[in-house]
Amino acid sequence: MCVPDSEQRKRPRSFEGRSGGITMIERIDEVLEKKVRPALLSHEGDVQIVEYADGVLKIRLTGHCSGCPSARLTTEELIAAEVQKEIPEVKEVVLVNEISPELLDFARKLLNHNHEAQECI
């Protein structure tokens, strides 16, 4: 399920660090925008920054990349590699496997629909 672009790029819950007048989150997002998002978008997915603190970047994959069997590999080989190459202060990139509110709503609608269909039988 694809999530609208405006939903995918919500501000992370917390961040720290400034470099040259821009925040660490802005630096990370710049790397993601240039080096990571084009690859993810070609698979109808994206990446969202959840949080950055103490050298640990927490991310969430969205769209078709959310829940993909290759998500962990994508995080390690693409996202972590690119971010850490450009920003050595990022020591670890962690994939957060939260279920998005949009996906939960979709699942509830499916379950409701199936329940209503069974009542009609």
pLDDT band at 2 (very low <50, low <70, confident <90, very high): very low
More confident residue, 68 or 99: 68
Mean of the per-residue pLDDT values of the chain: 81
d(CA 57, CA 64): 21
62: phi then psi, degrees, rounded to nearest 5: -125, 175
pLDDT band at 20 (very low <50, low <70, confident <90, very high): low
- Helical ranges in the chain per DSSP H: 5-8, 24-31, 37-41, 71-74, 81-86, 101-119
Cα angle, residue 43 at apex, residues 41 and 48 outer, rounded to 5°: 50
Predicted pLDDT of residue 120: 56
More confident residue, 116 or 64: 64
Cα angle, residue 58 at apex, residues 13 and 52 outer, rounded to 5°: 55
CA-wise closest residue to 66 among 2, 13, 115 = 2
